[in-house]
Structure 1
Amino acid sequence: MKKKVLFIIGTLQSGGVSKSMVNLLNAWDREKYNTSLLLCSKEGDVFSKYLPEDVNVIYSPVVENVMGGFSSAKWLFLHGYLLLSIGVLLRLILSRVSKSLSGELIAKMMPIVSNEHYDLVVDYGGQQLLYYMVNKLSATRKVSFFHNDYSKWSYYYSADKKYYPRLDNIFSISKTCTDALKKYFPNCAEKVSIMENISSPSMIQAQAEDYTDDLRVMLQEYKNDGNNIFCTVAHFCQRKGGDFAIEAAEILKKQHIKFKWLFVGKVLEQDLFNSIKEKGLVEDMIFVGIQSNPYPYMKLSDIYIQPSRFEGKSISLDEAKILCKPIVVTNFSTVGDQFENGKNGTICEMSGKAVANAVIELINNPSLQDSYRMYLGTHIVDNSSEVNKLYKYL
């Protein structure tokens, strides 16, 4: 009989973790292993259409609403889950005091959705999903992923330190990220290892050609009007440097540089978005929303910009590299895991002024753009073999 494997993820909304999960499942040997995915929330689902058809998706609306807010508490109450409804309200209050205790409470409230015994369960989201996996699911081996630099995201430390020792392995996505985990959890250091986000060059390059005539015409009109085309794939918020982007755009406009800056993702902080209107940048900063296929926007742009404050190992940046785009990226803690300044991209300091100066340098130096494209074109890596690191637990 085939061995049974269960993956767990919170959501398949837009974002690097969701995209990475889908890429992993597409690379996974599903003929050899009976593969299931526990999807905790269908809200804003973007990537499920890219899931392989032979992956068994497990979903419970009770699980989704246990993880939600006031509207979820109402849904639980109306469907007869009075105690869970009260629990959600308590958890919303508790989250203001302790994210760890809040996460543990969510895990306790989540119902057991499968009584199967699995050969391997893989928590791909961490926090409450980790605690739920350890406490409520039966498996021979259990592993977890943490997709960021723990030193920048240690809110769940008091809970994680109780659960990480109970795992067979803890994966993160870069050396900087694994070093941080080893520092915070020295008793688990031997269990911590790297498994990179999986990016398939052939799939990305093929999807990048799948652009609509409307998009092509729009960008051609921008070009004909003398605009430089920039692209950023990320939710618009301070964590992803939305304020740096606004400051940079304001500087570029004052220096009479014509541009259209495309933002692919969700606006998470309305106050930032409002400041774009206040500064008269509405026609320059173009928000196209969440796109299940962002690659045409990336491919048709002149420069890819990632002005983030924090990243684990950005899958969007790996994809921009595969598409051989000249890249400007801020000097967040893990940037050295993906870039060498002046070799495969421009690393600048964390400010709008620095982002603007780096963009201006690239615009005025076509030979530097060409050198980035040539280097990236000869260093494209298909890392689908990263899945082998999970096979050893089966």
Structure 2
Amino acid sequence: MKELLIASYDMEVGGVERSLISMLNNFDYKNHEVDLMLYSHTGDFMNLLPKQAKLLSESKAYKTFRMPIGKILQSAKLPLALARLFAKYKANLNHSHENGYKQLQYMWVYTLPFLPRLKKKYDVAISYLWPHYFVAEKVTAKTKIAWIHTDFSTVDTDEELDFQMWNKFDYIMAVSEECKNAFLSKYKALENKVLVIENITSPEFILNLAAEKVDSPIFQDSRFKIVTVARLSYAKGIDNAVKALKLLKQKGYDDIVWYVVGYGGDEGMLKELIKQNGLEDQFILLGKQLNPYPVMNAADLYVQPSRYEGKAVTVGEAQILSKPVLITNYATANSQVKNGFDGSICEMSIEGIADGIERMYKDKEFRKQLSHNCLDTNYHNSHELQKLYQLI
């Protein structure tokens, strides 16, 4: 019986968390004893964790990563609070759209001396969400594995620090071939460590949840319905989606409505943008939802307007629900859909998104064909876990 540790942040509603739940629910517990380390025991997905995975006690020190600095000061953890303040200061020296990545990275680097080690020793330790400093520095294991969920060629990090951290792992798992290639464009020296394991998807789980009854205005809406499920952040391109819908409205498409399920730091900006463009009745933010699948299932078209992705979990879920899918041409787009077969790829611009939607809106037969091809495709891929078992 191999002893494994899997570490991540929390179980808030998100694509990475959904993929972790799928992996844990499809895991081989007959041959593996699994401990799960969550830095914070929070999030709506906590009750979806399988009982076979042993949830380790919450650590007060690691829980601070999900707390505001003021609250850390109140809890008398001065060194951790000062390290967080310095991380924020250093990240803000070079401002970018995603300087939160650098802040998170520096936060780990500067707090490491004040964080406890895990006493138990493991055969394998898996760090599921970047930055992977906990498993790299605070866990003893014969084999260490880190996961890549995003397109690292587009992410602004301190590359030297990042390389040192990645190099402490025996294997690095990318969720798609394109995700792997994007990572290696930045960290070529790590090529012999990087393998591909796709996000585990469970069609039965998604189809069952999609059949549940939920309360949403989308079910009474007779207009052409677009749905996006995403974090409200720069990476997901929801601001471009608002502007694309404005273009379509100017062209006379008044019967298109766009529903977005998700939450995040850009919510205030997006609400203002929707108001500025007079789209309050056509671009509707539904907020965080534990079960987004009934809303996805009600869509005439699923759109992923992202600026970059590793491999968007939600796109695969929309395909499982046999929805016609439109995604922007981000670097890893070809790992998501076979263009023209089970989805369509449009140019990554406001005009490109608008043109892609217009084509889908006009061509009902094309939408039907995409849906039919999705229905005929088997998206169950729990066999991907065999790659992980071989390494273990």
- TM-score of the two chains, using structure 2 as the length reference: 0.91
Structure 2 counterpart SS, 1:150? coil
Report if the CA contact (8 A) 2:2-2:33 is conserved: yes
| 1:248–1:181 Cα change, 3 Å | closer
Residue by residue over 1:80-135, the C-alpha shift from the partner in whole angstroms, topping out at 9 and shown as x without a partner, is x33333333333323334655443123333322x31111111000122xx222122
State the partner residue of 1:109: 114
Structure 2 counterpart SS, 1:367? helix
Residue by residue over 1:300-331, the C-alpha shift from the partner in whole angstroms, topping out at 9 and shown as x without a partner, is 11110111111111110011111111111111
Structure 2 counterpart SS, 1:152? coil
| 1:74–1:278 Cα change, 3 Å | same
Equivalent residue letter for 2:124 = L
Q: Shift of the alpha carbon at 1:139? A: 1.0
Paired with 1:350 and 1:376, the residues of 2 have a C-alpha distance of: 23
Structure 2 counterpart SS, 1:120? strand
- TM-score of the two chains, using structure 1 as the length reference: 0.91
Q: Pick from 190, 193, 196: which aligns with 1:194?
A: 196
Paired with 2:362 and 2:189, the residues of 1 have a C-alpha distance of: 51
Say whether residues 1:357 and 2:355 are aligned partners. Answer: yes
Note the aligned Cα RMSD (angstroms): 1.9
Say whether residues 1:122 and 2:121 are aligned partners. Answer: no
Q: Structure 1 residues 117-126 or 182-191, which shifts more? A: 182-191
Report if the CA contact (8 A) 2:328-2:347 is conserved: yes
Gaps of 5+ in 2: 94-101
Report if the CA contact (8 A) 1:231-1:301 is conserved: yes
State the partner residue of 1:268: 265
- Identity across matched positions, percent: 28
Structure 1 counterpart SS, 2:242? helix
| 1:210–1:285 Cα change, 3 Å | same
State the partner residue of 2:89: 93
Report if the CA contact (8 A) 2:239-2:273 is conserved: no
State the partner residue of 1:391: 389
Q: Pick from 298, 322, 325: which aligns with 1:324?
A: 322
| 1:116–1:313 Cα change, 3 Å | same
Q: Pick from 277, 280, 287: which aligns with 1:289?
A: 287
Equivalent residue letter for 2:69 = F
State the partner residue of 1:173: 175
Structure 1 counterpart SS, 2:173? strand
Report if the CA contact (8 A) 1:303-1:325 is conserved: yes
Paired with 1:111 and 1:220, the residues of 2 have a C-alpha distance of: 50
State the partner residue of 1:259: 256
Q: Structure 1 residues 182-191 or 166-175, which shifts more? A: 182-191
Q: Pick from 157, 160, 167: which aligns with 2:159?
A: 157
Q: Pick from 311, 315, 325: which aligns with 1:313?
A: 311
Equivalent residue letter for 1:95 = A
Aligned length: 380
| 1:291–1:308 Cα change, 3 Å | same
